[in-house]
Amino acid sequence: MTQRLPFVTVAALSGLTAASLALVHCGKEDDKTAIISYDLGASTDGNYAFATTKSGAADDLKLTLTNDGKGPASSMAMELAAVAKNSDDSEPFIFKGGTYPGTGGTCSDSLAKGDSCTVVVSFNPVTAAYASADYTGAIAISFNDGKTSQTKTFNLTGTGTLCAGGAETAIDHSSINTGSARSTSSTATRFAQSFVLGSEKDVKNVILSQYNGQNAVVSQVDVAIHADASGIPAATALQTLSGLPAIQAGSRSWITYTMPRPVTASAGSRYWIVVSYGMTSADLTYIDVASTDYADGAYKYSNDSGGTWMTPGASTDLAFKVETCK
């Protein structure tokens, strides 16, 4: 009596692009055994290349398994592995949602003849700020075809990036009113300027014009980006660049502050640049104001470390620039 054994074919789908895997028989037809082979279209044979993906985002790969054999496949399992982890020690290749067969997947540990099931794999890169990283890994598919155990490995590649392409100017409100500036005092040591972007972008740099009018120097400068909370900066910063070098006495200069990680600013939403000065009573630091008002923003100051924000009688906005990732 001839025993009929199953074989499994695998198809890969990502977005609207299908990557079909062809079945190749090994041995005589009456062996009823199969070896999985594959064709990933334009990809290098043996590899699946995920799309270049922003750090913190995801690109998904949907694998479809079909049993074209004469009996059930059993002991079916899949394992993911990566050569290196993300910068936060997490895994770059995972089953979507964290567990097999992935969110939206239908595979289990067996597959009846004629049936199909799916597995969803996510590429979730987390890279260092203002850098890109290349990832390699693999997914190993194993099952029992009714006679022997079968295993097939697909190599995975992907590139994660976080603002690695430099910066470009998104807001340039830099025309300075040289006859006026906001000055620090023993109480007013925190200043805020709001801004709005017309499209969603990642903010990399805040640029401000400042100078110190005395021989003393500011002991510390902190620059942060906050979301808006009913017309004032939210209590918690989205990103803070703290402990910056002191501003030396002398002529004004434009100083660029690069956020530790870029801040994703939604289109049409208000955000705040908040500048805090650590001072002694002898310090007197000036932050320049613009010669015209910035239409989409407001200027405020605080004398209690941001507990209360006030609007000055002269409402001219600060002179500032915002640069976003290319």
- Residue 297, pLDDT > 80, answer yes
Higher pLDDT, 42 or 172: 172
Which has more confidence, 20 or 99? 99
Domains of the chain by start residue, with CATH = 8-162 (2.60.40.10), 167-325 (2.60.120)
Decide: 59 and 122 in contact? Cβ < 8 Å. Answer: yes
First to last CA, the chain: 68
- Residues composing the chain: 326
Is residue 219 over pLDDT 80?
no
Helix and strand counts by DSSP (H, E) for the chain:
0, 23
- Euclidean distance between CA atoms 108 and 57, whole angstroms: 27
Rounded Cα gap, residues 47 and 38, in angstroms:
10
Q: How many angstroms separate the CA atoms of 152 and 63, rounded?
A: 13
For strands 220-229 and 232-244, give the pairing: antiparallel
What is the arithmetic mean of pLDDT over 221-234?
A: 95
Average model confidence (pLDDT) across the chain:
82
Q: With cut-offs at 50, 70 and 90, classify the pLDDT of residue 217.
A: low
Least confidently predicted of 8-12, 70-74, 137-141, 322-326: 8-12
Q: How confident is the model at residue 187 (pLDDT cuts 50, 70, 90)?
A: low
Residue 4 to residue 70: CA distance in whole angstroms? 5
> What pLDDT does 245 receive?
64
pLDDT at position 283 is 57
Is 83 within 8 Å of 92 (Cβ atoms)?
Answer: no
Lookup: tokens for 128? 């260092």
Q: Pairing state of beta strands 47-49 and 149-162?
A: parallel
What average pLDDT does range 151-174 have in this prediction?
93
Q: Which of 27-31, 93-97, 296-300 has the highest mean pLDDT?
A: 93-97
The pLDDT of residue 170 is 97
Backbone angles phi, psi at 154, to 5 degrees: -110, 130
Whole-model pTM: value is 0.77
What one-letter code names the amino acid at 31?
A: D
Q: What pLDDT does residue 154 have?
A: 86
Helix (H) or strand (E) holding 80, with range, is: strand 74-82
Give which of 143, 145, 146, 127 is closest to 135, Cα–Cα: 127
Q: How far apart are CA 326 and CA 318, in angstroms?
A: 25
pLDDT digits (tens, 9 = 90+) for 100-144: 999 999 999 998 888 888 889 999 999 999 999 999 999 999 988
